[in-house]
Amino acid sequence: MSECVIPNLTSNEVVASKSVLPDGWKADLSNLKVLDLTLPVLELLRRTTSRLPQDVIDALVKGRDAEEEGSRAFNTLNDMVRNINLADGQVTPLCQDTGTVIFWVRHPFGLSQVAAKKQIREAVKQATKNVYLRPNCVEALSGKNLGNNMDPFHEGHPVVHFEEWDKPEIEVGVMLKGGGCENVGAQYRLPDATIGAGRDIKGVRKCIIDAVVKAQGQGCSPGILGVAIGGDRVTGYEKSKEVILRRLGTKNPVPAMDAFEKEVTRDLNTLGIGPMGYGGTTTALGVHVEEMFRHPASFYVSISYMCWSSRRQVLKIGSTGEVSFD
């Protein structure tokens, strides 16, 4: 019988001692023209690739402890916890697939998006050289890999979303989105007679259940489902990824949607798919849903599936220049 592994992340002091940022590094936000985000973003990637967020770890442990001890589901989740400890302790990637690299940058007026994008791209190149990231970016048709995680055609990878806000601080969120789980994402156009889904919340529920049944263990379950109701084909998928950034266990600000998320998560966990498709009661760690506008003629439900190795983190640069990671 497998020993029950206890999550044992290294302390914040140990993480900080391995930082690529010089001791006491601070940004000068009084002069955004000369701000260089390269090093803090490199540090963000170093931390994100090897360290799962605590809420994801807690959900995996809770799932494991709910499975029958010694079952395949229990052992698989237990191995995931062992994997989490090893990756964190050795500062090595949690999974061989370090995903598509997606950033969300929120910044005050005055920051040059052109300069920031250059610096973020440089950080990704450096992170690939340092083996925090696997070179995951290939030419679509030939499969040729330049080895630096840069889109060989334009600037499509890494993906960088910018938003100017009226706060003085800067936030850079990152998600490493695995290829296996990306493959099982789905977009539905309602009504959809094939699954009996109409243009209402019951129809949305059917889409989510259908996507997870089709995915089985192939998205490296247990998964976190990001769901956007509405939007167009692009904005729906974008939103469905962004909502995965919300911490597991936090409430949806819309009470009816919060109840829906909890109900669907419960339902998904009765499907018997379990971790990696080996059966059990831990198929989904959570479902996050957001409603958007839509064109009257269109009703899309866009679903992004995030695998158990749900790597995300936010770099915060406060108004006085201090850096923190959350």
Q: Is residue 99 a contact point for ligand SF4 (CB under 6 A)?
A: yes
Total residues at the site for ligand SF4 (CB under 6 A)? 10
Q: Which helix (H) or strand (E) holds 225?
A: strand 223-229
Q: In the complex with ligand SF4, which residue's Cβ is closer, 39 or 248? A: 248
Q: Is residue 279 a contact point for ligand SF4 (CB under 6 A)?
A: no
Which stretch, 95-103, 160-168, 240-248, 257-265, contacts ligand SF4 (CB under 6 A)?
95-103
Taking CA atoms, 24 is separated from 20, 47, 203, 251, 299, in Å, by 11, 17, 52, 35, 50
Subset of 284-303 contacting ligand SF4 (CB under 6 A): none
Q: How far is the CB of 141 from ligand SF4 (least distance, A)?
A: 22
Q: Is residue 95 a contact point for ligand SF4 (CB under 6 A)?
A: yes
Q: Is residue 174 a contact point for ligand SF4 (CB under 6 A)?
A: no
Q: Is residue 180 a contact point for ligand SF4 (CB under 6 A)?
A: yes
For ligand SF4, which residue has the nearest CB? Answer: 178
Residue 145's Cβ-count burial label (10 Å; 0-12, 13-18, 19+) is: middle
Per-residue contact track with ligand SF4, 134 to 173, x per CB under 6 A? ----------------------------------------
Q: What is the DSSP string of 256-318?
A: HHHHHHHHHHHHHTTSS--GGGS-SS-SEEEEEEEE----TT--EEEEEEE-SS-EEEEEEE-
Q: What is the DSSP string of 167-205?
A: SSSEEEEEEEE-HHHHHT-EEEESSBTTTTB-SSHHHHH
Query: Contact residues for ligand SF4 (CB under 6 A)?
Result: 95, 97, 99, 178-181, 220, 307, 309
